[in-house]
Structure 1
Amino acid sequence: MYIDLTMVLRPGMPVFPGSPKPAVIQWTKYDVHSYYSNVLFLHEHTSTHVDAPAHFIPGAKTLDQLDVSKYFGNFIAVDFSHLPPRGVIRLREFENALPRGADLGPGWVVLIRTGYDQYAGTEKWMEYPELSPELAEHLAKLGINAVGIDSPSPDRAPFEIHKILLGREVLIYENLTNLDQLVGKIGKFYGLPLKVEGGSGGPVRAVAEI
């Protein structure tokens, strides 16, 4: 069974403060050109997307420089939708939430459900919880492939969590959705972006296979 974890990319959709809203502009028409196509204008970090290490680490790898195997792997999904606004996801709580049989290490993807995908476009959206530095350090030391979350970010300025994870080439997936369907399960995660030269990140079609 496959679960789509991707927000629809559309004009005017919610974006992280300071980012431009995407535009989808019709370029050709059936009745004029005999075929239909659009031109896309969007920030690299729009909708469901992945952050490459170069997003925060000068000189680090960009989307096209990463091994393609970094964009998929075995996943575990944990539920922190019970946290209050701006709550903190701590290491001990994370370890208690892990499903049985999750022996995390290289090749794994950790998916964290906050439930904040349902608030996209509202004021509450930016009240998302954050990962603690202790948890980020733990995940980075495990050498996992990526951390994914169903909110706009795993942290706030000065973005310490981004720097901890990306500094160890642990990719970050943001604005995932439908993680409630994965909690307590183990399967395969796929989130491949376009191979953009020099890309600091890019939209993905994120999918889980159970």
Structure 2
Amino acid sequence: MLFRDSRPIDLTLTIDERYPTTWPAHVPFVRRTWNYFEEQTHGPEAWASCGPYFTEVLIMDEHIATHFDAPSHFLPKHAPGEEGAILGDLVPLLQFVGNAVCIDVTGLVGSQPGESPWIEPEHIEMFERGRGGRALTAEDVVLFRSDWDQKHYHPFPRGNGYALDVAVTKASPGWPAPSVQTIRLLLDRGVRCVGTDAPSMGAAHDGIPAHVEGLSNGQVFIEGLANLKDVPPDHGTFQFMPVKIARSSGGPGRAVVWIPNA
């Protein structure tokens, strides 16, 4: 498929310190002007100029906004060849590309504060029946659409609903999340890249098991996607291009689905 014959749908959250870009307990996104077109002073800030250009210094967590989890994110490296030895810069780019399969789980709404409703194997099997019984394959990238970004990725304080009110204060129910059984089913189908528009692939109340099950078996997860409401269920090519950070646990990047022109 030639990209000039397609239109892109941007699935990437904008990184902004006014928004809930990082996990609540992690370092918040910080940026400072380092150089500006001319020297200026604004209150306590002084901007030096060593040339007629503008640049900023950024401080950010590897798992900020739209990002991926490499196996090393949850699996310590004990020996070469183990899954935990797969660091972020070692994940092949082809693993981030595939047929975009967008599964609508917006109907899964939690009722218990601090807990996620489960995406179970029957939800996957129901989707497969709905497309004529065609099973998922290793060519597919599965994207779970909950519209969590549409509901909660907003400036603070409204943005607290994205993760803080779920994972920290336990004031609100969590996002839909795949159970371990669902991760196993996807692995059985050969799916090696799974995405979600929630802040984590793991459940709000127990996020470790799904991460360990998928990452220890060679999957990668893309978390914090956006605009999955615009992605057809089974039509297009998914592509994620992460920042290449040496010896990383993952990293942010740009996610897109290419839809063929009619």
Q: Which amino acid aligns with 2:34?
A: W
Looking at structure 2, the residues matched to 67 and 124 of structure 1 have their Cα atoms a distance apart, in angstroms, of 30
Match of 1:113 in 2: 145
Deviation at 1:122, TM superposition (A): 3.1
1:91 corresponds to 2:109? no
In the TM superposition, structure 1's runs of 4+ consecutive aligned residues that sit over 6 Å from their partners are: none
1:6 corresponds to 2:12? yes
Looking at structure 1, the residues matched to 32 and 175 of structure 2 have their Cα atoms a distance apart, in angstroms, of 32
Deviation at 1:107, TM superposition (A): 3.3
TM-score (norm 1): 0.93
Q: Which amino acid aligns with 2:131?
A: R
Gaps of 5+ in 2: 1-6, 39-48, 78-83, 111-115, 154-158, 167-173
Kept in 2, the 8 Å contact 1:73–1:145? The answer is: no
Question: Please, which of 61, 64, 72 is the counterpart of residue 54 of structure 1?
Answer: 72
**Rg larger in structure:** 2
Between 13-22 and 172-181, the greater mean CA deviation after superposition: 13-22
Question: Please, which of 104, 120, 127 is the counterpart of residue 79 of structure 1?
Answer: 104
Once the two structures are superposed, the pairs formed by residues 156-195 of structure 1 within 5 Å of their partners are 156=203, 157-195=206-244
Once the two structures are superposed, the pairs formed by residues 117-156 of structure 1 within 5 Å of their partners are 117-118=149-150, 119-120=152-153, 121-123=159-161, 125=163, 126=166, 127-156=174-203
Identity %: 30
Q: Which amino acid aligns with 2:14?
A: V
User: How many correspondences in the alignment?
Assistant: 210
Kept in 2, the 8 Å contact 1:12–1:23? The answer is: no
Kept in 2, the 8 Å contact 1:12–1:22? The answer is: no
CA distance 1:115–1:186, change in 2 (3 Å): same
Match of 2:45 in 1: none
Deviation at 1:192, TM superposition (A): 1.3
1:100 corresponds to 2:149? no
Between 22-31 and 49-58, the greater mean CA deviation after superposition: 22-31
Looking at structure 2, the residues matched to 88 and 26 of structure 1 have their Cα atoms a distance apart, in angstroms, of 43
Q: Which amino acid aligns with 1:35?
A: Y
Q: CA RMSD in A?
A: 1.7
Looking at structure 2, the residues matched to 173 and 67 of structure 1 have their Cα atoms a distance apart, in angstroms, of 14
Looking at structure 2, the residues matched to 204 and 182 of structure 1 have their Cα atoms a distance apart, in angstroms, of 18
